[in-house]
Copies of this chain bind each other. A is one copy, B any other.
Amino acid sequence: MKNKAIVLLSGGLDSTTVLYYAKAKRFQPYALIVDYGQRHRKEIKHAAKIARLLKCPSHVVRIAFPWQGSSLLDKRIKLPYHTTIDPHKIPSTYVPGRNIVFLSFAVSYAEAVGATGVFIGANAIDYSGYPDCRPEFFRAYETTIQRGMKSGVQGKAIKIYTPLIRKTKTQIIRLGRQLNVPFELTWSCYQGGRIPCGRCDSCVLRRKGFEGAGVVDPVEMKK
């Protein structure tokens, strides 16, 4: 029988690639989609569509960060538009504790269904500005759940897999192509518009990644 794994699925390029990766590694994936009041709520629909396509069980968890404090949640704060992104600065799109909260639900889900792992598409190359995307954070998180969960104290601690952590966007897209990821179903733009804005950090990274990989992005964005 296959081992079950929870995959945190946002509907973006990275997490979708991770979902296909987990499947290729012979896990039975369960998708966890988090609706946290993000500007780009559109990605949730994309995530749900991708989970259905793969026929994997999924849950949407609806939460809120009522204390705001991030341009990704608060439309009054301007989204950053950079021609060059400084990966060492914490951007205004940082949501305090976002991955900490997401992982908590994922490990709870994992334990409830008896999954042995949680996959997350965190990336320390383009997003090293976010402390909750760094390898040392994930290692500490593993220790925490080893000590604080039933599975952990019973010697069957849930593992956190971060297969993209040291990959560039170009490498992620190449991997996605190998795995037949349906890029056309993914949504990256932080703005929730009809078509991707082409200007936000997420669009800029996506465009560069596809250019670097020499692959045509099936999703058209504004110039």
A interface residues, Cβ below 8 angstroms from B: 59, 61-69, 90, 94-101, 103-105, 107-113, 131-132, 134, 136-137, 140-141, 143-150, 152-153
Q: Is A100 a contact of B149 with CB atoms below 8 Å?
A: yes
Contact of A137 among B94, B96, B131, B144 (CB under 8 A): B144
From the candidates B100, B103, B131, name the one contacting A107 in the complex (CB within 8 A): B100
Supply 21 A–B pairs (Cβ within 8 Å), ascending by A. A59-B67, A67-B108, A90-B150, A96-B111, A96-B149, A96-B150, A97-B145, A97-B149, A98-B108, A100-B104, A100-B144, A100-B145, A100-B148, A101-B105, A131-B148, A131-B149, A140-B140, A140-B143, A140-B148, A141-B144, A143-B144
Give, as a whole number of angstroms, the nearest-CB distance from A97 to chain B: 3
Query: Other than the known A131-B153, A132-B149, A140-B147, what 20 A-B pairs have Cβ atoms closer than 8 Å?
Result: A59-B66, A65-B112, A67-B108, A67-B113, A96-B109, A96-B110, A96-B112, A97-B107, A100-B107, A100-B148, A100-B149, A101-B101, A101-B104, A101-B105, A101-B108, A103-B104, A131-B152, A137-B148, A140-B140, A141-B148
A100 touches B108 (CB 8 A): yes
Instruction: Report the Cα distance A171→B203, complex, angstroms.
Output: 57
Shortest distance in angstroms between A128's beta carbon and chain B's nearest beta carbon?
11
User: In chain B, what residue has the closest Cβ to A65?
Assistant: B108
A134 CB contacts on chain B under 8 angstroms: 147-148
Bound Cα distance from A68 to B113, whole angstroms: 9
Is the CB–CB distance between B147 and A136 below 8 Å? yes
Give the distance in Å from the alpha carbon of A6 to the alpha carbon of B148 in the complex.
21
A147 and B99 alpha carbons, distance in the complex (Å)? 12
Query: Which residue of chain B lies nearest to A67 when distances are taken between CB atoms in the complex?
Result: B112
CA distance A193 to B153 in the complex (A): 34
User: Closest 4 A-B residue pairs measured CB to CB?
Assistant: A97-B108, A137-B148, A96-B111, A67-B112
Give complex CA distance A143, B99 in Å: 15
A153 to B146, CA, bound (A): 23
